[in-house]
Each structure stands twice: as structure tokens, then as C-alpha cells.
């Protein structure tokens, strides 16, 4: 799964896809639902996991280049803001997410 500004994340097990049908796969219930346990716990009660955010340039790793792009976006008044906290404009909260994930060497884990 790949979303805007997130690290690409794979399911831990294979999922069978059939044309015309819907597939549901819940990655929020356990870190082990993702390949390589590549999720972050975002809530304790109930326990919930989420995909790491901060990969602004979509190169598979959260690093200083993502932080630079977010800093630049903070200066723009645009309807296409690459925000990480979901409030549709780039601010210190977005840069904080990127900096923390960069410090923790967050990157894509692929099979």
C-alpha cells in the first residue's frame, strides 16, 4: 500500500485478489500485519497501528531531503500541500513528524 507522503507498506501475508470483488485487510490491529513489522503504534486504547508518514519525495526512506521539501512547502500557499498530519497545510507539526521518522531511520521494507 502506498499513500501520499507515507512509506510504502506491504501486507505480512499474501492477499488473493479476484476481479470484481473487494478485499479487506486490517493493518491497524497488530504490527505483525505488515511485512517486516513496518508500522507505528499510534494509540494505546484501543491499540492501533498506522503506516509511517514523512516520505515526501517517495524515495522509500524518510531523511533530510524530505524535511527540506516540507520546509519549502511551508512557504507555499497551495491547494496541493504535501502535509503529513492531514490538516491540508504544511506547518511545524509536519516537519516534526518527518524529523522524528528521519532520526529513527524509517524506510520501506519490501519482500
Given a cut of 90, whether residue 2 has pLDDT beyond it is no
Burial (CB count <10 Å: 0-12, 13-18, 19+), residue 60? middle
- The answer to whether the CB of 35 falls within 8 A of the CB of 45 is no
Domain extent, residue 68, equals 31-103
Say if residue 53 is exposed, middle or buried (CB neighbours under 10 Å; 0-12, 13-18, 19+): buried
pLDDT of residue 106: 95
- Confirm whether 90 is domain-assigned: yes
Give which of 88, 71, 70, 87 is closest to 79, Cα–Cα.
88
Q: Judge whether 70 lies within some domain.
A: yes
- Residue 98 covered by a domain: yes
Indicate the pTM of the whole model: 0.79
11 assigned to some structural domain: no
Number of domains present in the structure of the chain: 1
Residue 85 has pLDDT above 70, yes or no: no
Amino acid at each position: 500500500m502506498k499513500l501520499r507522503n507515507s512509506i510504502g507498506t506491504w501486507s505480512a501475508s499474501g492477499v488473493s485478489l479476484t476481479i470484481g470483488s473487494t478485499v479487506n485487510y486490517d493493518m491497524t490491529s497488530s504490527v505483525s500485519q505488515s511485512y517486516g513489522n513496518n508500522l507505528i503504534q499510534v494509540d494505546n486504547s484501543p491499540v492501533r497501528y498506522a503506516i509511517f508518514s514523512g516520505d515526501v519525495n517517495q524515495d522509500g526512506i524518510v531523511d533530510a531531503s524530505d524535511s527540506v521539501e516540507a520546509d519549502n512547502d511551508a512557504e507555499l500557499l497551495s491547494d496541493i500541500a504535501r502535509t503529513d498530519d492531514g490538516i491540508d497545510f504544511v506547518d511545524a507539526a509536519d516537519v516534526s513528524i518527518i524529523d522524528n521518522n528521519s532520526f529513527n531511520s524509517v524506510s520501506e521494507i519490501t519482500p
